[in-house]
Amino acid sequence: MLTRFIAAFFLVLAFSFPAMADESVYQKIVQQPGWLNTSRALTQDDLKGRIILLDFWTYCCINCIQVMPDLRYLEDKFGDDLTVIGVHSAKFKNEGDSENIRQAILRNDLRHPVVNDFNFATWKAFDVHAWPTFVLIAPNGAIEKAVGGEGHRAELESAIEGLRSRYAGSINKAALPMALEKNKQPETVLSFPTKLASFASMSGIAQNLVVADTGHHRVLTMQPTDNGTTQVDTIIGSGVEGFKDGSFKEAQFNHPQGVLASINWGGGPQLIYIADTGNHALRVADLAARTVTTLAGNGTQGHDRHVENKPGLEAQMASPWDIAFYPDKQHVVVTQAGLHQLWSYNTETKTVSAIAGSGSETITDGAFPGNALAQPSGVSALDGVLYFIDAETSSLRMMSGGNVKTLIGTGLFDFGFKNGVQGVARMQHPLGLVATAQGEYVADAYNHSIRLFNDGRLSTFAGHGERGHRDGPVKEARFNEPNAVIAVGKALYVADTNNNAIRVIEGGKVSTLKIQPPASADVPEFSKDALPNLSVLKPQALAAGKDITVRLGLQAGWHINADAPSSLALFAMTPMPLAVVSFDKQALQASHELVISKLEKGEYRLQGTVYYCADAAGSQCLLKSFDVEIRAGDIAQASVMLPLN
């Protein structure tokens, strides 16, 4: 029954087809009814006379993901001379659902028509054997070329060039009935969040979150507020897809995923390591310096599986998916999903080495290099043991003393939704996990559930196998392809990827985190220079752990100038100035009494400039800047006055 899949995902195929006109090829393409990115199903007449490139894919497949830049390149180069059509032939049951395919289209920003080949009718009609496979069709309906696997961009480019030259002047370039799925999607604070991390706040009382906001090509840090919401306070990355180091505003990522925090508030480094998946790189964000630097990888997908103590910037990675410290904080383990390996980055020597996985995509236990993995996508360490998820074998595995052992999972095509022991239990393309004293919690993505492995047995902890977005008791709650789970105190936080949400499991119930976007997309920067018309107030001693009120001393008959860029920001000063809260002109206009929630102990500076005018028509407008030193500690005062008049 599974013989059509014998090539798995990376077999390179070459087919020979007769180069003859055959309009029946169009019927093979349009026989399925479920089309996406279009306003209606495509017809044979829509396709006749075109240069067509069929991409047979399934959205779990790392090789299918890694050729998407090749497709984008060909689409951009040939424009309306080329028609790319995605034929989605699902491996996993969950992937056969058109709504789930739609989410994958959004997540990967696909801009061409996609048909849901739910029963493999188109796959069989073209005698396909592997994901991905490309079939190039000439304008006369003849199959020009078919190749499978990665690495065929130049070959396809040359073939398309030949067809364009041969059929110059007769290629059908009429616009297809396109209706991109992304144009139907409302804006959300998060876009397909994938991985999570946490770190203690400066006081050590609260826990801040780190979120890979993957669809927005950025990483966020968030802190809880006293009103039950969570505030975005740091945006790492410009939000523009690309590969660029520099300041938080300038840096560019490409679908970043794994995040790992190493924060030392006592004057040490404040770092967030980032698996920049689409750029095939390991990056690091320095919260103190507010800069992003590349540690390993150079933006180009690699294929070398024999890597030992290689300088990080000389190495080429392949879709790094998740990261964890193991066996100590000097070593960052990187799941190389595209190479089916685990690598380790040494933070002192700045080198990388392969530590698990022969590179073959299968499930084999034992010591390296004899063991084999299949698209490792999640990793977590506890008590000297490294636990990891192999997505394509739907397995939970562990590594200790250099040896890999499988805890749940048996093969590439063995999946389902069943509790029990090894050999009986089944998952469906899990993507993340966290190891805790209670066991290993697994984000079982395609079963839309959180599973728990404990004492040799897999059980269902939250969710029940059906996608949705429902809060409430854990057995009634619903998720939509959760990608990660982490433990924060007594709670579990879940990156609920297709719901564009962070979910919280605590006390037997699931809730959705209420996320407040930053007051301004522009993160304020600390000024070392004198501000205009500066008023330097005496240092203020304020109460830690209480709400602090900032009052603008604006007399009656005056108002904040709506046309000027008024702003105030509070900067934590240890070890480097870092904005912790800011108020833009809209906030200043709305209220002359602004609240800073529960200020933590420490040294701060309040800076900003306020523009204000008299109410009388034609009267003068003024500006005044402030730079106030603040110490938050064990005292009673809970307000500060900024005199304007």
> Same domain, yes or no, for 269 and 363?
yes
Whether residue 521 lies inside any domain: the answer is: no
527 in any annotated domain: no
Residues 412 and 464 in one domain: yes
- 542 plus 612 within the same structural domain: yes
Tell me if 608 sits within 8 A of 594, measured CB to CB: no
Threshold 0.85, pTM exceeds? no
Together in a domain, 275 and 349: yes
Residue 190 is assigned to a structural domain of this protein? no
Collapsing DSSP to helix, strand or coil, 277 comes out as helix
Which one of 141, 160, 184 terminates a domain? Answer: 184
Where does a domain end: 467, 484, 516? 516
Q: Show the low-confidence residues of the chain (pLDDT under 50).
A: 1-21, 521
Domain assignment present for 59: yes
Does 189 fall in a domain?
no
- Specify the number of domains making up the chain: 3
How far, in Å, CA of 151 to CA of 131, rounded? 13
What's the confidence (pLDDT) of residue 15? Answer: 41
pLDDT of residue 2: 32
| 200 and 180, same domain (yes or no) | no
Based on its alpha-carbon atoms, the radius of gyration of the chain, rounded to whole angstroms, reads 27
CATH of the domain at 615: 2.60.40.10
φ, ψ for residue 62 (rounded to 5)? Answer: -65, -35
Q: Return all residues near 197 (Cβ < 8 A) that are at least 6 apart.
A: 209, 210, 259, 260, 261, 272, 486
Same domain, 265 and 382: yes
Q: For residue 593, give both structure tokens.
A: 């009494």
What's the pLDDT at 101? Answer: 98
Q: Is residue 239 part of a domain?
A: yes
Instruction: Please give the Cα distance from 74 to 159 (Å, whole number).
Output: 11
Q: How many CB atoms lie within 10 A of CB 373?
A: 31
Please give the span between the terminal C-alpha atoms of the chain, in angstroms, as a whole number. Answer: 82
* Sole residue written with tokens 């001393």: 553
- Domain membership flag for residue 592: yes
- Which pLDDT value is given to residue 186? 79
- Using CA atoms, how far apart are residues 432 and 505, in angstroms rounded to an integer? 16
Half-sphere exposure of 53 (CA within 13 A, CB side): 32
Q: Are residues 549 and 497 in the same domain?
A: no
289 and 142 in a single domain? The answer is no
Closest CA to 494 of 476, 517, 510: 510
381 in the same domain as 263: yes
**pLDDT of the residue at 23:** 67
Residue 388's domain comprises: 196-516
* pLDDT recorded at residue 611: 87
pLDDT of residue 22: 62
Would you list the DSSP string of 212-258?
EEGGGTEEEEEEE-TTS-EEEEEEES-SSBS-B-EETTT-BBSSEEE
Task: Report which DSSP code applies to 67.
Answer: T
Rounded CA-CA distance 108/114 in Å is 13
- Residue 408 counted as domain residue: yes
Chain centroid to Cα 386, Å, comes to 22
In which residue are the tokens 């009267």 written? 619
Strand stretches in 280-402, DSSP E: 281-286, 291-296, 310-311, 320-325, 331-336, 341-346, 351-356, 366-367, 376-382, 385-390, 395-400
Q: Do 412 and 434 belong to one domain?
A: yes
Q: Is there a contact between 380 and 387 (Cβ–Cβ < 8 Å)?
A: yes
Domain with 96 in it: what CATH number? 3.40.30.10
Instruction: Give the other-Cβ count within 10 Å of 141's Cβ.
Output: 19
**Distances from the Cα of 340 to the Cα of 13, 130, 274, 300, 520, angstroms:** 20, 17, 19, 17, 41
Q: Which of 134, 152, 184 is the last residue in one of the domains?
A: 184
Whether 13 and 101 share a structural domain: yes
CATH classification of the domain holding 358? 2.120.10.30
Distance separating alpha carbons of residues 629 and 65, to the nearest angstrom: 51
Backbone angles phi and psi of 277, in degrees to 5: -55, -55
Q: 261 with 336, same domain? A: yes
